[in-house]
Structure 1
């Protein structure tokens, strides 16, 4: 008697999760229809990509030293045990570095490419009938608010990343549960970050974003996780960021109950 009542919400949540992931594909379709904007959208991502690849290269170069620094207790162990522990520590450093890189890449790239991505988002809004409730915000106040919101999200990602780093040392759980939790957390934070521009055009701030996305969390997670997974692919962030911005505009309109079909 109880089974039918429990299946429907799960199926509904799964459907909304997939619909959220589909918003990324819709954003990609909208974006590629404007070749001129494609070039503009790639420039800031290429700049950020070069910076983060350099940082990742430095992390890989020094990962052995970091692993040794984090495991001084293993100095007197046998070579085999010491090596195994430090391989795990090194992988944990690389994993957390990759997670933080994916999360902060969004904030840095949006800061560098704000004019480019703002134009992409505006074009998407135009194709969907304009921006309901649009407000004029002076450039400098808008920049200060955007930087403040981005710093808050970066701080939150660090607070989440540190416990996940520690949990990565736990056998089995660190190799199974932690990556799933990391993907979900990363997807949620990416969704919050990417909808910043269309929400700002409506005069809405980070608390408004959080409340709107929480109202349909499966959809927001579906979109964010899809972007997160794409960002993990080599050069995926560089190629997907403009489409993610377009998809985030669709997510914004959906979250606020506004028209999302092209006219």
Structure 2
């Protein structure tokens, strides 16, 4: 339970950190605002075109009589829009982090410098960091989508689908959200996706304490925009905890003292 409370405290500490560094908070807002505008435009088009898409996808129903045609296509339109909305919620963080990679890396580095006096660096050019980030974010999104399909199916189970399944769903969403956010700091330490997932699983309560409350906040994209800079700062503090780094050791891990920690084979980078 101590890890659970600690995870929540990192979320609060991250927001406090950007509160004390208003300039960093302002820069950190830009990627979220850009992504939100883009998503709003796409969702608007989908709302206007949803009926046309469903009509195009169900030509076999053209000859159905009333009210069955309207009910059938109305239900499919609702499912189509609901699926798009779910995908938007799942991908918003990943896309925002990708768009704001330079902003959030700079913010994460400043947190490292403030806490430990040094900031680990991957040593990779920006284009390669962006490629790795996009590739690993896609892999995480696919995992999250598969879990989403499973939870959707389990949602039809009486009682359990309306109580236990949503609770587990929030935990899984919190885990993947934490992975996306801590990746900003851990990728600079050259910790690949496989190792990051193992690291997060080793401290599940810490991860859930940070990720689940944040998932609830991120259900509202506008709120997500404003808390994203603090979430990145808090995730950097959490990543330092996972790597065993303290203020006294100057940002180096307890075991080795090097800036690059648990580096994966070069082929993965």
If the TM-score is normalised by the length of the shorter chain, which range does it land in?
0.7 to 0.9
Q: CA contact under 8 A between 1:132 and 1:202: conserved in structure 2?
A: no
Partner of 2:147: 160
Q: Kindly tell me: are residues 185 and 257 of structure 1, through their superposed partners in 2, closer, same or farther at Cα, counting changes over 3 Å?
A: same
**Residues 1:142 and 1:88: Cα distance change in structure 2 (over 3 Å):** same
Equivalent-residue separation in structure 1 for 2:78 and 2:43 (angstroms): 13
Q: From the superposition, tell whether residues 135 and 114 of structure 1 become closer, same or farther in structure 2 (CA, over 3 Å).
A: closer
Aligned match of 1:102: 89
Q: Shift of the alpha carbon at 1:90? A: 6.6
| Equivalent residue, structure 2, for 1:117 | 104
Query: Residue 259 of structure 1 aligns to a residue in which SS?
Result: coil
Q: In structure 2, the residue corresponding to 1:137 is in which secondary structure?
A: coil
Q: Is the 8 A contact 1:48 1:108 kept in 2?
A: yes
CA contact (8 A) 2:101 2:130 kept: no
CA distance in 2, matches of 1:257, 1:26: 18
Give the one of 173, 176, 192 matched to 1:205: 192
Q: Work out which of the residue numbers 25, 31, 35 in structure 2 matches 1:48.
A: 35
RMSD over equivalenced CA pairs, Å: 3.4
Equivalent position SS for 1:235: helix
Are residues 28 and 211 of structure 1, via their aligned partners in 2, closer, same or farther at CA, if it must alter by over 3 Å? same
- Which runs of 5 or more structure 2 residues have no equivalent in the other structure? 251-269
TM-superposed deviation, 1:128: 0.2
Structure in which a larger fraction of residues adopt helix: 1
Question: Residues 92 and 168 of structure 1 are in contact (CA less than 8 Å); yes or no, is this contact kept in structure 2?
Answer: no
CA contact (8 A) 2:175 2:207 kept: yes
**TM-score normalised according to structure 1 size:** 0.79
Residue 92 of structure 1, CA deviation: 5.7
Q: Could you tell me how far apart the structure 1 residues matched to 2:138 and 2:33 are?
A: 22
For residue 173 of structure 1, report the CA deviation from its aligned partner: 3.7
1:135 and 1:31 mapped to 2: Cα distance? 24
Matched residue SS, 2:246: coil
1:219 paired with 2:222, answer no
Superposition deviation, residue 99 in structure 1: 3.6
CA apart distance, 1:55:
3.3
TM-score of the superposition, structure 2-length normalised? 0.77
Contact 1:17 1:218 in 2 (8 A): yes
Distance 1:70 1:156, change over 3 A: farther
- Shift of residue 158, structure 1, vs aligned partner: 1.9
